[in-house]
Every structure is written in structure tokens, then in C-alpha cells.
Amino acid sequence: GQQLNQSPQSMFIQEGEDVSMNCTSSSIFNTWLWYKQEPGEGPVLLIALYKAGELTSNGRLTAQFGITRKDSFLNISASIPSDVGIYFCAGHPLNPQGGSEKLVFGKGTKLTVNP
């Protein structure tokens, strides 16, 4: 089945730094979703992207749907300690009929922010 390659696996940064993570695939995707999961919680949707080239912001977070439809990135600007968590990319791959397959997840990027 389709796989998402999410990188980096983990990041250790200082408060105030910017963060960038990305997901790539060999398959075309119809939708890209970015989630944050904190310890003891379920994944929380941060940003949803629906078409190639789309660039969407949510506060200090910005995500883009790659123009090839095979990748997406998430940037966090001016990180703060509460940004700590695991960030997952996910997407709906294109199926042969032109619709979407079920949601596929990356393995996550664990973010640690040092105050």
C-alpha cells in the first residue's frame, strides 16, 4: 500500500527557533492533513490541505500541499515550549477511479523545545 515518509523523525530545538518537517510519497494524494499529538491525548487536527499548491496558515503554523501532489511540509515559526509533541502527516491517496483511498499516516516527528 501507499506509504508516507515523514522526516525528520525527531527534532531538538531552542525556544524561538523555526521548525520545518515534511512528508513525501511515491503516490499522488488528494488531501494532506497535519496533526499534533501530545502525551495522553488523541491527535488534534492542525491544518487540512485540499489542492496542489495550497498554502495554509494556522497561527504560527504554515503547511503546503506540494505541487506534484506527492509531498507536503509543515513549518512552525518562533517555537514555544507548548509546541512539544508528536506531529503526524496524513493523507488520502488517489485511487485508480479518481477518488480517495483511506487515510494513510506518516510515522511522526517528535518535537522537543528547550526553553
Partner 1 sequence: SAVISQKPSRDICQRGTSLTIQCQVDSQVTMMFWYRQQPGQSLTLIATANQGSEATYESGFVIDKFPISRPNLTFSTLTVSNMSPEDSSIYLCSVVKGWETQYFGPGTRLLVL
Q: What does the H/E/C string look like for 1-45?
A: CCCCEEECCEEEEECCCCEEEEEECCCCEEEEEEEEECCCCCCEE
Which CB atom, from 77 or from 101, has the smaller least distance to partner 1? Answer: 101
For residue 83, give the 3-state DSSP assignment: helix
Task: Report, in Å, the least distance between residue 83 CB and partner 1.
Answer: 19
Chain residues binding partner 1 by CB under 8 A are 30-31, 33, 35, 40-45, 48, 50, 88, 90, 92, 100, 102-103, 105-108
Task: Report, in Å, the least distance between residue 33 CB and partner 1.
Answer: 7
Pairing type for strands 10-14 and 109-114 reads parallel
Which CB atom, from 50 or from 81, has the smaller least distance to partner 1? Answer: 50
Task: Report, in Å, the least distance between residue 106 CB and partner 1.
Answer: 7
